[in-house]
Amino acid sequence: DQQVKQNSPSLSVQEGRISILNCDYTNSMFDYFLWYKKYPAEGPTFLISISSIKDKNEDGRFTVFLNKSAKHLSLHIVPSQPGDSAVYFCAASGLTGANNLFFGTGTRLTVIP
Amino acid sequence: EAGVVQSPRYKIIEKKQPVAFWCNPISGHNTLYWYRQNLGQGPELLIRYENEEAVDDSQLPKDRFSAERLKGVDSTLKIQPAELGDSAVYLCASSPGTSGYNEQFFGPGTRLTVL
């Protein structure tokens, strides 16, 4: 049973516009959420995270929003750049999991120049 | 600082053959993870080590998979015998410790193809 879901397999955005990637989770015990970015033939690299005590975390062009009541989080990239083209994975962790990460299926973002 | 190193990067074998993957984590990282990533899916945890102890191997198919982390540094993951369904990317990750939440650093993975 997929506990972390990314329902959009792909997303295309024009350079300079905002990219919004969405993620839903089912396990209410999750309290820490991360976004990873993956280029072809490379391992995932950490992008940004958010704790459940917050509803927003910002790092440069990247902002993650968390809506606990809806069990939903989103990653905003603004402005989008061609180098942002990659697969983005949402991941979640909980205290009982001792830092085990549960990943979504990923969203392939293409930023069109 | 060197990242997580994995070898080989690619491996093609016939079914029923054995195969082994090697991982060298980031220096000083006590926690090591092995994940399997099937095509079109996210990584799924196989086993987690704290130093040399396997503290979570609940998702490791123990009839054919084995892993070890001697001396709490390098780790190997073995499959014997391999099956067609084992074709996937095997990712190794490491993190500094278990207190609080730690970012996991991933290696480039080993892409296994079982024919």
Q: Give the model's pLDDT for residue A98.
A: 57
Euclidean distance between CA atoms B105 and B29, whole angstroms = 10
Q: Give the model's pLDDT for residue A25.
A: 96
B71-80 mean pLDDT: 94
Q: A48 — phi, psi (to 5°)?
A: -165, 155
B46-66 mean pLDDT: 92
Whether B72 shows a pLDDT value over 90: the answer reads no
Whether B100 shows a pLDDT value over 90: the answer reads no
Q: Give the model's pLDDT for residue A15.
A: 98
Q: Do B101 and A93 touch (CB under 8 A)?
A: yes
Rounded to a whole number of angstroms, the distance from the CA of B6 to the nearest CA of chain A is: 10
- Of A26-35, A57-66, B9-18, B98-107, the poorest mean pLDDT is in B98-107
- B34: closest chain A residue by CA: A100
pLDDT tens digits for range A5-25: 999 999 999 999 999 999 999
Q: Give the model's pLDDT for residue B1.
A: 65
Q: Give the model's pLDDT for residue A2.
A: 83
pLDDT tens digits for range A55-100: 999 999 999 999 999 999 999 999 999 999 999 999 998 854 456 8
Q: B88 — phi, psi (to 5°)?
A: -175, 180
Euclidean distance between CA atoms A35 and A89, whole angstroms = 6
Q: Give the model's pLDDT for residue A111.
A: 98
User: Greatest CA separation found in chain B?
Assistant: 42
Rounded to a whole number of angstroms, the distance from the CA of A68 to the nearest CA of chain B is: 19
Whether B99 shows a pLDDT value over 70: the answer reads no
Percentage of the residues of chain A whose pLDDT score is greater than 90? 81
Tally C-beta pairs within 8 A across A and B.
Answer: 56
B4-31 mean pLDDT: 95
Mean pLDDT of chain A: 93
- Number of C-beta neighbours around residue A101 at 10 A: 27
Residue that the structure tokens 């697969």 belong to: A87
What confidence tier does A29 reach under pLDDT thresholds 50, 70, 90? Answer: confident
